[in-house]
Amino acid sequence: MNPFASTSTLPFELPPFALIAEEHYRPAFLDGMAEQLAEIAAICASTDAPTFDNTMVPLERSGQLLTRVAEVFFNRSSSDSDDFTNALAEELAPLLAAHADAIRLDPALFRRIAALHERRGLLDLESEARYLVERYFTEFTLAGAGLADDDKARLRDYNKRLSTVTTRFEKNLLADTNDLALVLDDASELDGLTPGQTSAAAEAATERGLDGRYVITLVLPTSHPYLAQLTNRGVRERLLAASRARGIRGGQFDNRDLVLEIARLRAERARLLGFDSHAAGVTADQTAKTPQAVADMLGRLAPAAARNARAEQADLQAQIDAEGGGFELAAWDWAFYTEKVRRARYNVDTAAMRPYFEFERVLQDGVFYAANLLYGVTFTERTDLVAWHPGARVFEVAEADGSPVGLYIIDVYTRDSKRGGAWMNALGSQSTLLGTPRIVCNNLNVPRPAAGEPTLLSFDEVVTLFHEFGHALHGLFARVTFPKFAGTNVYRDFVEFPSQVNEMWMLWPEVLANYARHHATGDPMPQDLVDRIQASSTFNEGFSTSEYLAAALLDQAWHRIGADDVVTDVAAFEASALAAAGLDNPVVPTRYASTYFAHTFAGGYDAGYYSYIWSEVLDADTGEWFAENGGLTRANGDRFRSRLLGVGGSTEPLAAYRDFRGRDASMQPLLDRRGLN
């Protein structure tokens, strides 16, 4: 009676979380892998000449049990992990790697795909079906399907080991992040935080059995949002030091050896696959195509960003000196004095915005409201449906005519069992072939206030909510035939584009006016404050762009090393890479240092962290299009939905963009947005 053995009977095939127990996962994974391999074997055993219907269709139908259990388990292991999920994830990692290789490296399967690819122009295929053949052939080729048998054996070893060490990296990071949370004894040390933030710190301490004390949990990036508010310079220093210490303290959670091993294994695997570096192998199947194209773009932006950051640094030092501070600006001072300069120059206090950003109102009257204006969709909470955690809420999404779209699940609050950051994932993705529904999930890490206190978001947390919801819309709106193209299954350096577009609605006048109201009085955010926010849009962009580019360039540096290059010191390698890019300013640390760079060493953005700014070129250009064409309207939303969100991965991404925009994207709007002219 394993709940994963058959399709759920709940609305939209929502997994039956109330019935799923720990003992169900492992057998479902093992049965799912065995079932899919049997399905692949049946394809390859056919004596008939390969056709689309006897090869590609059953390939796309295969693995449904494995998909069901994997979607649920990996969502749980990231959002609500424990000793069980950690142990099982580590056990499964090499098994799943071997399973993927058994399919991608199967010579009989590849021969059938290659035969279809060679004759694809002669086959009577619709465009999506033809593209499916092309994608499978490309991906199998890049994965090593054409290698000799002894090389395939070596490749399997690489993939198996990489799956194990990247899983261990993420496990170590979560444990060290929890262990390094800042524990404070006195409320006076929290001076500068709001009452709600102070109560959240007290609540976090109570959850750890530290009644009467205060705990500030760490976020995934280097810079913690509280650094902008804490008046105690010593506490700020301790908070930043804790963040930067993750994975480098020695002991069982130290990630330095794993970083070196992951980089080396990826470089050796790339050489086996015929590439000079891992970055070359990754970008070959992205819109960027080459590491040099990435380097050219990042190299164009880095000098201007570093120059702007140095000018901002001088302004912050002048503020310190004017106050008689008597010290030199340090990294832990940057956010705090940035807010002082922002207030002095633009009369904008980001902390004072929190009362206008109450979570429920932001979600219902901001995020959902913008989606309704653009696409006509509505959201109704389904309190009768159970998700993976009591704090996760389920909403049914419907079209303007009432027809169903899917389910949206949001899990807002931070907890020790949840990995850092914010993300979107799917528990079900639409495809006509399988008749599957859509279930998309957003996870955030907002500190939970004490009982009875409102959840007030920071400016950046509101941006994050709109961003992740953009991914959710992409997953909800894709309409494809084949599972391979479902939802957000697009090129990695394109996937951030729809989410970044959705950020723009946060400050769009009619949206902001609808949700930015004082949580206690209901008064709207004053228009002059809104105007000042807009006027300060490029303020501190030197810092923001520099810390992001530093991480993107660090990711590239680790993955452009060759198989014969020897790296033995993580810190020295980092320092050299950042100095080469001119981004080695000690008061502007990289957004992620290597030992807690989950995106690149565990999260699937290896050699791809450049994707955010690569996609932002399209995003900024799209923002210009919306502004020129009437803004937030149903007509514009329907165009964006049908030509970009709705095609999923079934079309070459830049071709889809040209179909929407009428031309390739221009970089100028990005340069304007970030003040990099």
Under DSSP, the state recorded for 214 is E
- CB of 440 within 8 A of CB of 27? no
CA atoms within 13 A on the CB side of 295: 12
φ/ψ of residue 91, rounded to 5: -70, -40
Q: Give the SS3 label for residue 38.
A: helix
425, containing H or E segment: strand 423-428
Tokens encoding 513:
């006016």
- CB of 668 within 8 A of CB of 623? no
CA atoms within 13 A on the CB side of 505: 30
Nearest residue to 514 (alpha-carbon basis) of 371, 651, 305: 371
Cα 243 from Cα 178, distance rounded (Å): 11
Q: Encode 71-118 in three state secondary structure.
A: HHHHHHHHHCCCHHHHHHHHHHHHHHHHHHHHHHCCHHHHHHHHHHHH
- CB of 491 within 8 A of CB of 286? yes
Cα 441 from Cα 594, distance rounded (Å): 28
Nearest residue to 28 (alpha-carbon basis) of 86, 71, 90: 71
Cα 598 from Cα 612, distance rounded (Å): 15
**533-543 burial: b if 16+ Cβ within 10 Å, else e:** beeeeebbbbb
Q: Give the SS3 label for residue 604.
A: coil
Cα 322 from Cα 558, distance rounded (Å): 42
Annotated catalytic residue: which of 128, 312, 468, 624? 468
Cα 368 from Cα 362, distance rounded (Å): 8
| Residues with Cβ within 8 Å of residue 519, at least 6 apart in sequence | 355, 356, 358, 361, 454, 456
Cα 87 from Cα 81, distance rounded (Å): 10
Identity (one letter) of the amino acid at 512?
L
Strand order in the sheet with 378-381: 378-381, 392-398, 404-413, 439-446, 423-428
If 0-12 CB within 10 Å is exposed, 13-18 middle and 19+ buried, where does residue 274 land? middle
Check the CA dihedral 594-596-601-604 and report its sign.
Answer: negative
Cα 41 from Cα 103, distance rounded (Å): 9
Cα 200 from Cα 12, distance rounded (Å): 35
- CB of 247 within 8 A of CB of 223? no
Strand locations in 155-287, DSSP E?
182-184, 214-216
Reply yes or no on whether 468 is catalytic. yes
Check the CA dihedral 143-144-145-151 and report its sign.
Answer: negative
Cα 418 from Cα 412, distance rounded (Å): 11
Under DSSP, the state recorded for 581 is T
Q: Please list the residues that pair with 191 across neighbouring strands.
A: 193
- CB of 455 within 8 A of CB of 203? no
If 0-12 CB within 10 Å is exposed, 13-18 middle and 19+ buried, where does residue 240 land? buried
- Could you give the residue numbers annotated as active site? 468
